[in-house]
Structure 1
Amino acid sequence: MIVDRQGRRFRNLRISLTAACNYACTYCVADGKRLVAAEDELSADALARAVAYLIEAAGIERLRITGGEPLVSPRLEPFLQQVAGLGLQDISLTTNGQLLSRKLPALLACGIKRLNVSLDTLDPLAFRRIARGGDLSTVLAGLQDAREAGLNIKLNMVPLRGQNLDQVLPLLDYCLERGFELRFIELMRMGHLARDPQGFQRQFVGLDELLAVIGARYEYQQADAPQDATALRYEIPGRGFFGVIANESVPFCRSCSRLRLSSTGWLHGCLSSSNRHFIGDLLDKPRHQALPALQRLLVRALGDKQELAFSGGVTVMKIIGG
């Protein structure tokens, strides 16, 4: 097992199935252009083999499938079918929900029980302005279908000053009424925002301001969360829960257990680091050759983690998943 001097190790793998996305959200890409799949993205077989090797080499316990938008990838179903048999404690998926109704039968057939759905507003005009793609009513219909199918659902919202701050309470009400858990994600200094500190500060909404907005309507209390959780979790007694991923206000780097794998075979140990480690060439090697080489790369990836707090990174989030 690979452990650093702070006692951190990799438990959670987030794998970007594709960089392609049918949205071009303002906080993710600057120019409004949708990202397309790279020509050198790994096959479903190779990605599944990477997961299997990482389980053995690093002790990965939980898998989150991300993108881009994973539901646009033709590799989704064959990949899910293979990783479902690897003995992971949990497999979940993050999606923007645009194709959720259409892909729901495949997700259920492969044993997916948990979804994180990105949704920044319930206002159709604001939705189009922020996502620069998609259709709100289609996402809401997908959420209803997933709820009726019994999936555990969390919604992810990025509050942005001047764009959707007025949607904090409407989205919270929407989630409480349906048994969803809403996660507010503080804007991250990633990609173009890392190079535009003034633009970042203009839009940033922090933990204290969010809690003040919520506290004006609801009484809440802090709830327990796993030791390596990214979110501060709160309970509104008798109604439900919400969380805040306060990467700027209350950094969680000291307990981070996350490892990311891009669709093109690059390991990222930390979002704040520009370092990356290629494992694509290891996936064609026999296990006895691949695992020692992979463990050496994992030591380096773990060493990339920040000790105290997220400091920003120029990597575009869509490339390595949320």
Structure 2
Amino acid sequence: MIVDRQGRSFRNLRVSLTAACNYACTYCVPDGKRLVAAQDELSAAALVRGVQYLIEAAGIERLRITGGEPLVSPRLEEFLHGVAPLGLADISLTTNGQLLSRKLPLLLDTGIRRLNVSLDTLDPDAFRGIARGGDLRTVLDGLERARAAGLRIKVNMVPLRGRNVDQVLPLLDYCLDRGFELRFIELMRMGHLARDSAGFHAQFIGLDALLALIGEHYEYQQASAPVDATALRYEVPGRGYFGVIANESVPFCRTCSRLRLSSTGWLHGCLSSSNRHYVGDLLELPREQALPALQGLLQKALGDKQEVAFSGGATVMKIIGG
């Protein structure tokens, strides 16, 4: 296991199956164009080897499958079947839910029992304005089907001033009623928002404002969370839990254990660093040749992590996953 001077190591791996996405969310892409798959995306077999090698080289324990939108990837089925027997403590998947009903049998068959579903509003008009794609009713139907199948579900919402603040309480009610854990994600200085400070601040809503709004309608108390958790968790007694990923208000860089592998074979040790490390060629090598070289790159990737707080990054978030 590789450890830095703050005691951080890589334990959580996020693999982007594809950069392609059937949405074009306003906080992700500025021009309304849906992201498309790159010409040089790795095969499912190479990505599975990447996970296997990173388990050995870095001590990875947990895997989250991301995108773009992973459910649109033609590599999804082969990748899921490939990683299922690798002995990971947890395998989860993040999706916008548009194809969830259609892909649910595959997810269940390959052992996925935990989902994060991005949903920024329950209002159909606001949904179309933010996502610039998809259909709200289809997403809600997918959530109900996944819930009925027994999957544990977290719903991710990015509150945006002037766009969906009026949906904070309706979404919280919706999630508490169904046993979902709602996660409010503070807007991040990623991609075009890293360059547009005025646009970022015009939309940003922080932890204190969110808690004040929720506190007008609910009593809540802080709940426990793992040491390396990204979210501050809160309990509404007798109802359930919600969380806030407060990357701006309460940075969590000091305990970050996340590593990202892009669909094109780049390792990203930190969202707030422009550094990346190509491992696509190593994934074609035998284990005994790949692991020593991979450990050297992992040391560099761990050194890319911010010491204290997230400061933004030019990379488009959906290219390397959430």
- 1:103-143 deviation per Cα after TM superposition (whole angstroms, max 9, x unaligned): 00000000000000000000000000000000000000000
Is residue 74 from structure 1 mapped to residue 74 from structure 2 by the alignment? yes
Tell me the equivalent position of 1:151: 151
Quote the Cα distance in structure 1 between the aligned partners of 2:28 and 2:302.
25
Mapping of 1:260-275 within 5 angstroms?
Answer: 260-275=260-275
Runs of 5+ unmatched residues, structure 2 = none
Superposed structure 1 runs of 4+ greater than 3 Å apart:
none
Number of equivalent positions: 322
Tell me the equivalent position of 1:302: 302
Helix, strand or coil at the partner of 1:259 = strand
Quote the Cα distance in structure 1 between the aligned partners of 2:31 and 2:151.
35
Mapping of 1:236-275 within 5 angstroms?
Answer: 236-275=236-275
Tell me the equivalent position of 1:43: 43
Helix, strand or coil at the partner of 1:310 = coil
Tell me the equivalent position of 2:114: 114
The letter for the 2-side match of 1:89 is A
The letter for the 2-side match of 1:135 is D
Quote the Cα distance in structure 2 between the aligned partners of 1:67 and 1:205.
25
- 1:8-61 deviation per Cα after TM superposition (whole angstroms, max 9, x unaligned): 000000010000000000000000000100110000000000000000000000
Tell me the equivalent position of 2:233: 233
Tell me the equivalent position of 1:218: 218
Quote the Cα distance in structure 2 between the aligned partners of 1:239 and 1:156.
18
Quote the Cα distance in structure 1 between the aligned partners of 2:318 and 2:235.
31
The letter for the 1-side match of 2:27 is Y
Is residue 190 from structure 1 mapped to residue 190 from structure 2 by the alignment? yes
Helix, strand or coil at the partner of 1:263 = coil
- 1:58-98 deviation per Cα after TM superposition (whole angstroms, max 9, x unaligned): 00000000000000001001100010000000000000000
TM-score, normalised with respect to structure 1: 1.00
Quote the Cα distance in structure 1 between the aligned partners of 2:258 and 2:319.
16
Helix, strand or coil at the partner of 1:194 = helix
- 1:161-205 deviation per Cα after TM superposition (whole angstroms, max 9, x unaligned): 000000000000000000000000000000000000000000000
After TM superposition, give the deviation of residue 241 of structure 1 in Å.
0.2
Quote the Cα distance in structure 2 between the aligned partners of 1:199 and 1:38.
28
Tell me the equivalent position of 1:278: 278
After TM superposition, give the deviation of residue 102 of structure 1 in Å.
0.1
Mapping of 1:132-151 within 5 angstroms?
Answer: 132-151=132-151
Tell me the equivalent position of 1:83: 83
Helix, strand or coil at the partner of 1:85 = helix
Greater CA drift, 86-95 or 280-289: 280-289
After TM superposition, give the deviation of residue 267 of structure 1 in Å.
0.1
After TM superposition, give the deviation of residue 152 of structure 1 in Å.
0.1
Quote the Cα distance in structure 2 between the aligned partners of 1:288 and 1:52.
13
After TM superposition, give the deviation of residue 147 of structure 1 in Å.
0.3
Quote the Cα distance in structure 2 between the aligned partners of 1:189 and 1:16.
20
Mapping of 1:168-207 within 5 angstroms?
Answer: 168-207=168-207
Quote the Cα distance in structure 2 between the aligned partners of 1:104 and 1:91.
15
Is residue 320 from structure 1 mapped to residue 320 from structure 2 by the alignment? yes
TM-score, normalised with respect to structure 2: 1.00
